[in-house]
């Protein structure tokens, strides 16, 4: 496939490809019912390009036709108490900050509907969510307010579905025509300055700084810093009210309102990150090989000592961790996940079975590698309840 030669955020041709990965699975959160399907899963390539003009990072080799977003796609974190407490706090904060009571709410990329349902319940709001991965059997009727779910991608055809509050969480990083999509949202929200637009995406500065290769995978064709995210929204006709980080600095969040024309207000302090971006991009290329070898060496040592190794977290991070390091069942036996809808399925490309925590009492591991350190305390508590004393590592 030909690689894109211009930035999909600002249109600049001043790009530098600084990271490549070939033959990676094109989906990492699909339900794969057999090991054969997992081992033969379709693959694509990653070519991360850094725009020297706006700081945006994207996969120049991305082919959206390879992806599947359907009821089989299940990235939910809603089975974690840690995540749910944070999620509820975020919903409560937004309801209070923007007076979301008796309002119309639109959520783009609503997943299984958990967040929209919370917003509707907290403020007796009327909500509509769009996502091809909506599963009617897993959505919940709000105790107050109402929520409607549309099993489809959000697009221009839904522009008549107006909202006082428009949110889009952990979705923009999946959308290849980046600027075109934000422009679509801008046209849809209209010019009412009271309309609030809220987006949440992963923070690329953390990924680069930590050489977090497990957070680079095919579905994520876009990678934002605070600056590149704010610049995208300003050029699309939004006034940026705030931009910041949350969830142990893993997530970026931006609050906007429609502006009369492309906004030219001064950048917020959090946005002035181009020097840091340039430095981290340069360091990533040179330091990543050492990070990969460190992990491979750890796994080899565990296996040489006859230790049984599992990962905890069978979503995108787990798939990327295993495939990037080339770890099959001989190196890592299982992937553990608390989402019961994943149990008995298999990891894309590497083929490990996904099991629930209770299975660990039978398949007693010596080493548990946690895919997201924010869940370490929760997972350690689960291991103690199971009477297990495995060594715990985090990415």
- DSSP H or E run through 48: strand 43-51
Please indicate, yes or no, if residue 341 is contained in any of the structural domains: yes
Strand partners, 256: 197, 240
Q: Is the pLDDT of residue 262 over 60?
A: no
State the number of CA atoms in the 13 A half-sphere of 35 facing the CB: 8
User: Tokens 């990327």 sit at which residue?
Assistant: 320
pLDDT in tens, 33-43: 999 999 999 99
| pLDDT value at residue 201 | 98
Instruction: Select from 233, 237, 275 the least CA-distant residue to 252.
Output: 233
Please indicate, yes or no, if residue 379 is contained in any of the structural domains: yes
Q: Is the pLDDT of residue 130 over 60?
A: yes
| pLDDT value at residue 187 | 96
| pLDDT value at residue 260 | 73
Please indicate, yes or no, if residue 321 is contained in any of the structural domains: yes
User: Do 327 and 359 contact (CB within 8 A), yes or no?
Assistant: no
- Banded pLDDT at 58 (limits 50, 70, 90): very high
Average pLDDT over residues 122-134: 97
- Banded pLDDT at 261 (limits 50, 70, 90): low
Please indicate, yes or no, if residue 390 is contained in any of the structural domains: yes
Please indicate, yes or no, if residue 383 is contained in any of the structural domains: yes
Task: Report the number of distinct structural domains present in the chain.
Answer: 1
| pLDDT value at residue 265 | 65
Please indicate, yes or no, if residue 334 is contained in any of the structural domains: yes
d(CA 33, CA 196): 41
Taking all residues of the chain, what is their mean pLDDT, rounded to a whole number? 96
pTM: 0.96
Q: Is the pLDDT of residue 267 over 90?
A: no
pLDDT in tens, 372-383: 999 999 999 999
Please indicate, yes or no, if residue 320 is contained in any of the structural domains: yes
Domain that holds residue 343: 299-394
- DSSP H or E run through 81: helix 81-98
d(CA 294, CA 304): 15
Average pLDDT over residues 103-118: 97
Instruction: Select from 177, 116, 172, 180 the least CA-distant residue to 148.
Output: 116
Strand partners, 346: 353
The beta-strand segments (E) located in the chain are 15-25, 43-51, 57-59, 104-108, 126-130, 146-150, 165-169, 196-202, 222-223, 238-246, 251-258, 309-312, 334-336, 353-355, 367-370, 391-394
pLDDT in tens, 167-220: 999 999 999 999 999 999 999 999 999 999 999 999 999 999 999 999 999 999
- Banded pLDDT at 108 (limits 50, 70, 90): very high
3-class DSSP state of 104: strand
Domain CATH code at residue 348: 3.40.50.720
Q: Is the pLDDT of residue 263 over 70?
A: no
Q: Is the pLDDT of residue 224 over 60?
A: yes
| pLDDT value at residue 266 | 74
Question: Which DSSP symbol is given to 352?
Answer: P
Strand partners, 368: 310, 392
pLDDT in tens, 327-356: 999 999 999 999 999 999 999 999 999 999
Residues in the chain, overall count = 395
| pLDDT value at residue 1 | 61
Please indicate, yes or no, if residue 256 is contained in any of the structural domains: no
């Amino acid at each position: 496939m030909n690689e894109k030669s211009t930035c999909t955020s600002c249109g600049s041709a001043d790009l530098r490809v600084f990271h490549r990965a070939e033959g990676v699975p094109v989906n990492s959160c699909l339900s794969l019912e057999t090991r054969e399907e997992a081992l033969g899963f379709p693959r694509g390539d990653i070519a991360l390009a850094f725009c020297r003009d706006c700081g945006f990072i994207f996969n120049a080799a991305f082919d959206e036709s390879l992806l599947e977003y359907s009821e089989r796609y299940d990235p939910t974190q809603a089975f974690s108490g840690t995540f749910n407490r944070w999620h509820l706090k975020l919903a409560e904060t937004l309801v209070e900050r923007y007076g979301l009571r008796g309002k119309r709410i639109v959520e783009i990329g609503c997943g299984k509907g958990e967040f929209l349902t919370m917003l509707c319940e907290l403020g007796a709001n009327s909500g509509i969510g769009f996502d091809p991965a909506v599963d009617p059997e897993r959505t919940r009727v709000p105790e107050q307010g109402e929520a409607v779910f549309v099993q489809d991608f959000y697009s221009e055809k839904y522009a008549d579905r107006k909202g006082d509050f428009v949110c889009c969480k952990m979705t923009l990083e999946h959308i290849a025509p980046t600027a075109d999509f934000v422009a679509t949202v801008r046209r849809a929200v209209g010019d009412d300055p009271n309309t609030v637009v809220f987006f949440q995406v992963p923070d690329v500065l953390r990924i680069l700084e930590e050489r977090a290769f497990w957070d680079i995978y095919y579905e994520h064709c876009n990678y934002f810093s605070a600056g590149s995210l704010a610049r995208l929204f300003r050029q699309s006709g939004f006034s940026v009210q705030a931009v910041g980080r949350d969830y142990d600095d893993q997530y970026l969040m931006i609050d906007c309102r429609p502006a009369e024309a492309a906004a030219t207000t001064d950048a917020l302090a959090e946005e002035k990150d181009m020097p840091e971006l340039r430095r981290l991009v340069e360091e990533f290329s040179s330091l990543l090989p050492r990070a990969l070898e460190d992990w491979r060496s750890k796994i080899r040592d565990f296996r040489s000592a006859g230790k049984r190794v599992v990962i905890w977290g069978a979503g995108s991070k787990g798939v990327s961790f295993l495939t990037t390091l080339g770890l099959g069942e001989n190196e890592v036996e299982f992937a553990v996940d608390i989402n019961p809808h994943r149990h008995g399925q298999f990891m894309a490309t590497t083929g490990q079975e996904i099991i629930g925590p209770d299975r660990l009492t039978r398949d007693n591991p010596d080493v548990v590698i946690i895919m997201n350190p924010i869940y370490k305390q929760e997972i350690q508590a689960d291991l103690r309840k199971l009477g297990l004393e495995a060594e715990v590592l985090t990415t």
